[in-house]
A and B are shown apart, each in its own frame.
Chain A
């Protein structure tokens, strides 16, 4: 299998799906000849032309609304938000139009659209180029939300998202674009939506995470391993619908859970996971379900400030030690 970066894997998924299915097209700001703000759509305009790689005005709500409209005639649009932060300008079309359509049509229609969301901090992006808005959407029935952490999953999950008949929000972490690299299969392989991956097996504690937090979590787990504590690391990959069975199975084995995410703490994805674990596996727990997250603030511009809030190997390691101390 060829080695690709996370970013190249996304691009390859787009190109392959567009070749496979003439109903797949791409739209967004600067996605045309320029190739996207991060270069994800480079080469697509050249290969597929301006009717399938559409440069749009700065109109996030229209980008998503247009996608919904096209989907009603059998198309599978992939809309790019230039930054996940900008999705707030298209929020209504996602949560009110796309998420409810099948329900209010009595099951007689579906909305096969993908919204790509370059998200996350660690890139000195400041307040409006660093956000992790996944929790806003995990709260809304009718949507699916995925967040790959590896190049392999970036490709496979995007292909699965494009083929899915529901609106899928695809969170691609900017920090991983060129830093994350790995073997990626060519061709038709997809990664199923709704299935977590166990990145590391362990018997003493479960660490549940996703996106850019997977790698530092694995490194923290390695540190604890040196002290004889074996941590199981679960990469959620899909946040809605998340793989509850995989988490609960691991909890039954380890009896201790740490949830790690880059998004802020209050009512982040971790809050829901924690509540579910306590509700459904209380009798298995030997310790409180704990979280390592960003504090309830914004993602600041200053390198010093940004590093002060983002979870890292040290803070995750500390979290695991506190958990193991129970």
Chain B
């Protein structure tokens, strides 16, 4: 199997600014959630992806509307980019009726088939066989759509990971497996859960290509995704892209993450995907200070509006604890 080609791409200034907007919005959304948990306004279920945003932005930005995403629990940004309104997403976190699950569960345990979003359970890696099933239907219909399935390096140790990637390899499915290797499965560092350095190496045993890239570089993620998508859309089968990154916050907001050093965190914070991209955009004369202010103001307004909306949205009726169980 030849390695994926280095795809050439040229993004228009508006597209680059769009990417920048998403990075900023997703970061701001997670940061606000973190505060809302501390204020007791959001009760739990907050697993931020702060520091990992370039992975979602770089991958989802390359997708078509009809393509599917199967996010992991830190990928709130994929919901927003695929078209879930910030108000709805915030309502989901507030457990209000205006959220995706009407208060039945928090966070990303809900989806939207009309937008091409599958919502996983808390069983990490359990979204991967489902992703294979979605991709199987594209193959049956001979469509050139693709499923992008996300998982952490932790979930790559589950049986579902093996079963799904093996099946996808055998069936040559149009699917891109994106590993967000953020170095920790809750408290367990990667070297204590894997005897190899790169999750990408696991792809070889399933008969397809795996690449490890800098997950904090949004354009590198975008480029790798374009290559994998081009392969998948033309019948070339799956690809595994391992994005090396780092989780800034604890596993969830109640986790103080004492198991890692301040130096390690500081090193990774210096590789924050957003300032890097900001510098690039300014250097390329795509972004100036005025535009930056406008984008930041727009992000702040959007988040404020979403919080206001969610905070004032109706609570579910008690009887809804036992509805929507059966079609």
Partner of A102, one of B100, B137, B326: B326
Contacts of B137 in A (CB 8 A): 69-70, 73, 75
On whether the beta carbons of A69 and B111 are closer than 8 Å, the reply is: no
> Chain A's nearest CB lies how many Å from the CB of B158?
9
- Considering only CB atoms, which chain B residue lies closest to A89 in the complex? B159
Query: Does B251 reach chain A (CB closer than 8 Å)?
Result: no
Q: 20 more A-B contacts (CB under 8 A) besides A65-B132, A97-B126, A102-B327?
A: A51-B140, A52-B140, A56-B167, A59-B166, A66-B167, A72-B111, A72-B134, A73-B113, A77-B133, A92-B126, A96-B126, A103-B104, A104-B109, A104-B119, A105-B100, A105-B324, A106-B102, A107-B102, A108-B100, A109-B113
* Interface pairs (16), CB distance under 8 Å: A57-B166, A57-B170, A61-B160, A61-B163, A62-B132, A65-B129, A65-B132, A65-B163, A69-B133, A70-B136, A73-B137, A103-B324, A104-B101, A105-B100, A105-B112, A108-B113
On whether the beta carbons of B136 and A69 are closer than 8 Å, the reply is: yes
Query: Does B277 reach chain A (CB closer than 8 Å)?
Result: no
A274 to B213: give the CA distance in the assembly, Å.
Answer: 60
Query: Does B297 reach chain A (CB closer than 8 Å)?
Result: no
On whether the beta carbons of A105 and B101 are closer than 8 Å, the reply is: yes
Query: Does B46 reach chain A (CB closer than 8 Å)?
Result: no
* Chain A interface size, under 10 / 10 to 19 / 20 to 34 / 35 or more: 35 or more
Contacts of A165 in B (CB 8 A): 327
Contacts of B105 in A (CB 8 A): 100, 103-104
Interface string of A95-124 (1 = CB under 8 A from B): 011001011111111101000000000000
Contacts of A144 in B (CB 8 A): 326
A62 to B170: give the CA distance in the assembly, Å.
Answer: 13
- Considering only CB atoms, which chain B residue lies closest to A74 in the complex? B137
Q: How many A-B residue pairs have CB under 8 A?
A: 135
Query: Does A260 reach chain B (CB closer than 8 Å)?
Result: no
Contacts of A64 in B (CB 8 A): 129
Contacts of B134 in A (CB 8 A): 69-70, 72-73
Contacts of B130 in A (CB 8 A): 65-66, 68-69, 72, 97
Question: Given contacts A61-B163, A65-B133, A65-B160, is CB(A100)–CB(B112) below 8 Å?
Answer: no
On whether the beta carbons of A107 and B126 are closer than 8 Å, the reply is: no
Partner of A93, one of B112, B126, B135, B323: B126
Interface residues of B in 73-112 (CB under 8 A from A): 99-102, 104-105, 109-112
Question: Hey, which bits of chain A sit against chain B, CB under 8 A?
Answer: 25, 51-52, 54, 56-57, 59, 61-62, 64-73, 75, 77, 92-93, 96-97, 100, 102-110, 112, 141-142, 144, 164-166
Query: Does B325 reach chain A (CB closer than 8 Å)?
Result: yes
Contacts of A105 in B (CB 8 A): 100-101, 110-112, 119, 324
* Chain B interface size, under 10 / 10 to 19 / 20 to 34 / 35 or more: 35 or more
A289 to B131: give the CA distance in the assembly, Å.
Answer: 47
> Chain A's nearest CB lies how many Å from the CB of B58?
24
Question: Hey, which bits of chain B sit against chain A, CB under 8 A?
Answer: 99-102, 104-105, 109-113, 118-119, 121-123, 126, 128-137, 139-140, 159-160, 163-164, 166-167, 170, 323-327
Contacts of B102 in A (CB 8 A): 106-107
- Considering only CB atoms, which chain A residue lies closest to B167 in the complex? A62
Contacts of A61 in B (CB 8 A): 126, 129, 159-160, 163
- Considering only CB atoms, which chain A residue lies closest to B141 in the complex? A73
> Chain A's nearest CB lies how many Å from the CB of B274?
31
Question: Given contacts A102-B324, A104-B119, is CB(A62)–CB(B136) below 8 Å?
Answer: no
A52 to B140: give the CA distance in the assembly, Å.
Answer: 8
- Considering only CB atoms, which chain B residue lies closest to A67 in the complex? B133
A110 to B325: give the CA distance in the assembly, Å.
Answer: 9
Partner of B167, one of A59, A77, A107: A59
Most chain-B Cβ atoms within 10 A of its Cβ — which of A51, A56, A105? A105
